[in-house]
Structure 1
Amino acid sequence: MTVLFYYNEIILPQFLQRPNEQLWGAPFSYGFRPCVKPTAKYKAADRWERYITVRSNGGLNQMRTGISDMVAVARIMNATLVIPQLDKRSFWQDTSIFSDIFDEQHFITTLQEDVRIVKELPKELQSVTRARKHFTLWSSMGYYEEMTQLWKEYQVIHVPKSDSRLANNDLPLDIQRLRCRALYHSLRFSPPIEKLGKKLVERLRLRAGRYIALHLRYEKDMLSFTGCTYGLSHAESEELRIMRENTNHWKIKKINSTEQRIGGFCPLTPKEVGLFLQAHGYPPSTLIYIAAGEIYGGDTHLSELTSFFPNVVFKENVATQAELKEFAKHATQTAALDYIISVESDVFIPSYSGNMARAVEGHRRFLGHRKTLTPDRKGLVEIFDKLETGQLNEGSSLSYLVMQLHKHRQGAPRKRGGAPPGIKGRARFRYEESFYQNPFPECICGSKNKLR
């Protein structure tokens, strides 16, 4: 029998709890496993006397994938890579240096057969003229082979931005696997971050055994940037509009919030996440770790989720003040803690497809296709709007509709997607699925079975 209860004046069915294996079990992996070893024709790195310096831009995961790209670029161009400088001018205003976030010596040592990496330029080269080169986005092997012409005039090339410098597809297998070795093996977080991250995972498991990591991108900057104001007050909507208007590097100022939401371009609201999880059959006692910054509107909007699932925690609830003090005012380092907890979670759910969501999804695929529920935001908006306006009749179960919509969106093995139909030229590169979101098939192999 279906029991009804009220939430925000909408009558919702409380669905029967599904078996634990369906709630928490990883999708069938078809026997796939990570494979990142070089092929037989791959040669060890030479002692190259040409250098690439890099300023790695963006937040944590934009920097991580960008650095992995630059490792591969240095290999292609037969150059020594100088430890990258990190972005200190982005939204986060983080003063962290490379060794604050990553295990620098581990990075150098584990890649020594692939690329020569040094901590700084030799003294005799620190004052020489450098070729300042903005490498073209999503470039192929051939592009970087042409760029080696720069070595005829310069001994040092400086790259002002590192993100998305390599194509997602059609690169040699050994280059693709090098990107995976760099990202998943060599870019290990610094010992203090690794230690606390693992400790927090253990505490979460002691609390409930299993937990969901929810990347809830219901943050002021994201809502302002996307122009998404559904469910907000007029004052909140106006605050976001003013922020967008005053942020110079955000080019689009006038945004239709309704069109954004219907198109699936908005982060799910806390209420929508609650509906989504309930429809999948997760019980109210489920432990949910919020991997995100400050939720816009604080408890006012977060309560729309905790009304469904009261067992919601942030890192501040799991770690002590003394433990977090070391990372205070370093958003990139605290994001690394969220990253560790998300990768190790039993279920990962991103409310929006940003750099963090893509990076965690790809890492979980690499580690054995751990369960990742990726919401179909466009489809969910249609369902939720029908629910709110009473258009769903008794035969149209919310649970059935949501689970049918997501039966193939749980992290099971699949080949990386290309650009949508109709997109041609260089524009297609922007719309391809990111290599780091799904490193299949280059870095995941070994199955004798065929994927459907």
Structure 2
Amino acid sequence: MARTRNSKSSSFISLNPSFFIHLFSLPPFNSLHNYSPRKNSRITQTSPFLSFCFISLLITLTFFAILFITFTTFFQNSLSCTTTSSSSSSLFLASVFAAASSRSGSVLDEKITLSTGAMVPLPAHGVVGNFSEEEEEFWKQPDNQGYMPCLDFSLKYRKASVKISKEKRKFLIVVASGGLNQQRNQIVDAVVIARILEATLVVPVLQVNHIWGDDSEFSEIFDVEHFKKTLIADVRIVASLPSTHFVSKQTINRDLPFHVSPLWLRARFLKQLNQEGLLILKGLDSKLSKNLPPDLQKLKCKVAFHALRFATPIRELGYQIARRMWIEGPYVAIHLRLEKDVWIRTGCLTGLGRQYDSIISRERDFHPEYLTGKLNMTHAQRRLAGMCPLNASEMARFLKGLGAPISARIYVAGGEPFGGTQAMQPLKEEFPNLLTKHTLARNGELTPYLEKSSTLAAIDYIVSLSSDVFINSHGGNMGRALEGHRAYVGHRKYIKPNKRMMLPFFEDSSVSEQEFKRIMKKLHRKSQGQPEPRAKKIDRDVIAYPVPECMCKL
């Protein structure tokens, strides 16, 4: 930088007075000082005029030359500064920002670039330290195979954006229900549906979560202004419905079938929306088709990974807690699904003994509608079919099988486990450095949010996003969201337990520990966060599998 600034003066031409003396001694300039009028010479009569023209031309060209050189020098300085600054950052994150700039070509996009809004993790640590070969393998990050974020919208999409982003007659209201990550999915779909119907989206309404008792509004969890600005070229978003569209009674559409397509949505709602100017949708959870046109898939990624940024207080606290984990070296984040409602819904045994299992059974008998999956399966059948979350004991053995060092620092995401400290004891005995947001928080940092489950889940999300290794014990919306997000920001290591294949070996006492480790590593060698195309299996969500619609090899 300093060298570039000091060289600025040397970029201009050094003008020596002798240069002008010599120049003016040449024709036609010498006619200025040699001029003597002669009546019979037309040439000499016009010489002063020609000389004046040449001098004017010279001055003009010199002026523009100086401007050009000045601009070139300034541009080079700016480029040098940018290059110097970029070199201090991670190469991949620089590529994320550059590639994710959504080269949409719209004037509206100039107000905010995607690079300013992407939620990115703290840098991966890499394998540094006195680790054994097995431990190095555990911490080693997967190869991203050259995939980078790539949100290039088509020309047709960009042309349509001019009209859609200015829509002021038709409005869509969406009521999002469930926990934080369930609500995030519905908000993503809400933006896409507004785009399909060419309607203005009112900032989504978050329904009170009756299970967790969280009544947080959108603006308390997400950065509203960032949400609106990031999507300004895609969909018009307003904070509230204008008074011109208030009606005494409005139909709320709840009964959407699964896998609805853009064609179905237009056929079902466009007429109503054009006539009434307002559409209210509720119960969107997983109803929108996973197989959308490429532009709409890119829009989903733009919403999920860029527009839905957590509100500033949550974001700052989340990264502060993440840094306390990160500063000590590489760490694992695990999402243990040990909450009471999970055991009720899955129909599985807790592993905590008859007393706890009887509590779950009574709740399940009282609310049979909560049970998911086939009703005629035994507890053992459900477990071996992979329908149950790994309990703390199983997770401990799984981590050891993968080669995790006993000294590994483990962040446990999720709600309060059913059974409290007793439920976590088997894991803590094997891996003593077990931490949560509650043990990492200081000076009452979490106190304002203890009754705000969505905020607590957002903090878990941020800390888990920044972990070197993430393990999800039982699917779920958070697991799928982090699977895609970690892929999008550099294919951070993500391990999804293959429960159907591995659990039989948990029961087989004839398998030695060494053989058990070999089997666990073999089963999960390909499940380490490498790019996996969405189309490999039908009906995969682009939010979990952003390749190839939202990522490409640049």
User: What is the rounded CA distance, in whole Å, between the counterparts of 1:301 and 1:152 in structure 2?
Assistant: 55
What is the deviation of 1:417? 5.1
- State whether residues 373 and 411 of structure 1, in contact with CA within 8 Å, keep that contact through their aligned partners in structure 2: yes
1:267 aligns with 2:389: yes
Which is higher, the Rg of structure 1 or of structure 2? 2
Letter in 2 for 1:63: Q
Paired residues for 1:350-369 under 5 Å: 350-369=472-491
Tell me what 1:289 maps to. 411
User: What is the rounded CA distance, in whole Å, between the counterparts of 1:127 and 1:410 in structure 2?
Assistant: 52
User: What is the rounded CA distance, in whole Å, between the counterparts of 1:398 and 1:178 in structure 2?
Assistant: 43
What is the deviation of 1:21? 4.1
1:232 aligns with 2:347: no
Superposition CA RMSD, Å = 1.9
SS at match of 1:266: coil
- More displaced, 318-327 or 50-59? 318-327
Tell me what 1:47 maps to. 166
Paired residues for 1:134-153 under 5 Å: 134=254, 135-146=256-267, 147-153=269-275
User: What is the rounded CA distance, in whole Å, between the counterparts of 1:89 and 1:295 in structure 2?
Assistant: 19
Paired residues for 1:226-375 under 5 Å: 226-229=346-349, 231-247=351-367, 249-250=369-370, 256-375=378-497
Letter in 2 for 1:62: Q
Tell me what 1:215 maps to. 335
User: What is the rounded CA distance, in whole Å, between the counterparts of 1:223 and 1:46 in structure 2?
Assistant: 45
What is the deviation of 1:89? 3.9
1:4-52 per-residue CA deviation (whole Å, 9 max, x = no partner) reads: xxxxxxxxxxxx9435542222211110011123223322234221001
- More displaced, 178-187 or 251-260? 251-260
2:141 to 15, 26, 44: 26
User: What is the rounded CA distance, in whole Å, between the counterparts of 1:140 and 1:237 in structure 2?
Assistant: 42
Paired residues for 1:7-18 under 5 Å: 17-18=132-133
What is the deviation of 1:433? 2.6
- State whether residues 130 and 155 of structure 1, in contact with CA within 8 Å, keep that contact through their aligned partners in structure 2: no
User: What is the rounded CA distance, in whole Å, between the counterparts of 2:445 and 2:550 in structure 1?
Assistant: 36
- State whether residues 344 and 370 of structure 2, in contact with CA within 8 Å, keep that contact through their aligned partners in structure 1: no
Paired residues for 1:108-257 under 5 Å: 108-127=228-247, 129-134=249-254, 135-146=256-267, 147-169=269-291, 171-206=292-327, 208-229=328-349, 231-247=351-367, 249-250=369-370, 256-257=378-379
- Going from structure 1 to structure 2, the CA distance change for 1:155 and 1:351 (only over 3 Å counts) comes to same
Tell me what 1:441 maps to. 548
- State whether residues 130 and 154 of structure 1, in contact with CA within 8 Å, keep that contact through their aligned partners in structure 2: no
What is the deviation of 1:148? 1.3
1:391 aligns with 2:506: no
What is the deviation of 1:98? 0.2
Unaligned stretches of 5+ residues in structure 1: 1-15, 420-427, 448-452
SS at match of 2:279: strand
- State whether residues 34 and 368 of structure 1, in contact with CA within 8 Å, keep that contact through their aligned partners in structure 2: no
Q: Percent identity?
A: 35
- State whether residues 343 and 350 of structure 2, in contact with CA within 8 Å, keep that contact through their aligned partners in structure 1: no
What is the deviation of 1:233? 1.1
- State whether residues 230 and 258 of structure 1, in contact with CA within 8 Å, keep that contact through their aligned partners in structure 2: no
What is the deviation of 1:128? 5.2
Q: TM-score, normalised by structure 2?
A: 0.72
User: What is the rounded CA distance, in whole Å, between the counterparts of 1:230 and 1:152 in structure 2?
Assistant: 52
1:337-386 per-residue CA deviation (whole Å, 9 max, x = no partner) reads: 00011111100000101111111111111111110011111122111111
Letter in 1 for 2:422: T
- State whether residues 106 and 186 of structure 1, in contact with CA within 8 Å, keep that contact through their aligned partners in structure 2: yes
Tell me what 2:45 maps to. none
What is the deviation of 1:405? 0.6
What is the deviation of 1:96? 0.2
- Going from structure 1 to structure 2, the CA distance change for 1:251 and 1:289 (only over 3 Å counts) comes to closer
Tell me what 1:5 maps to. none
1:65-96 per-residue CA deviation (whole Å, 9 max, x = no partner) reads: 11011101101101000011102044222110
Letter in 2 for 1:215: H
1:413 aligns with 2:531: yes
User: What is the rounded CA distance, in whole Å, between the counterparts of 1:210 and 1:89 in structure 2?
Assistant: 35
What is the deviation of 1:131? 4.0
- State whether residues 27 and 412 of structure 1, in contact with CA within 8 Å, keep that contact through their aligned partners in structure 2: yes
User: What is the rounded CA distance, in whole Å, between the counterparts of 2:347 and 2:273 in structure 1?
Assistant: 45
- State whether residues 17 and 281 of structure 1, in contact with CA within 8 Å, keep that contact through their aligned partners in structure 2: no
Q: TM-score, normalised by structure 1?
A: 0.88
SS at match of 1:143: helix
1:94 aligns with 2:214: yes
Letter in 2 for 1:443: C
SS at match of 1:64: helix
1:402 aligns with 2:524: no
What is the deviation of 1:231? 2.5
- Going from structure 1 to structure 2, the CA distance change for 1:197 and 1:94 (only over 3 Å counts) comes to same
Letter in 1 for 2:495: L
User: What is the rounded CA distance, in whole Å, between the counterparts of 2:184 and 2:152 in structure 1?
Assistant: 20
User: What is the rounded CA distance, in whole Å, between the counterparts of 2:401 and 2:132 in structure 1?
Assistant: 10
User: What is the rounded CA distance, in whole Å, between the counterparts of 1:103 and 1:418 in structure 2?
Assistant: 34
Which protein is richer in helix relative to its size?
2
Tell me what 2:56 maps to. none
Unaligned stretches of 5+ residues in structure 2: 1-130
Q: Which has the higher relative contact order, 1 or 2, with Cα contacts under 8 A spaced 6 or more apart?
A: 1
SS at match of 1:323: coil
User: What is the rounded CA distance, in whole Å, between the counterparts of 1:279 and 1:19 in structure 2?
Assistant: 10
What is the deviation of 1:249? 4.1
SS at match of 1:22: helix
User: What is the rounded CA distance, in whole Å, between the counterparts of 2:443 and 2:379 in structure 1?
Assistant: 38
Letter in 1 for 2:336: L
- State whether residues 345 and 371 of structure 2, in contact with CA within 8 Å, keep that contact through their aligned partners in structure 1: no
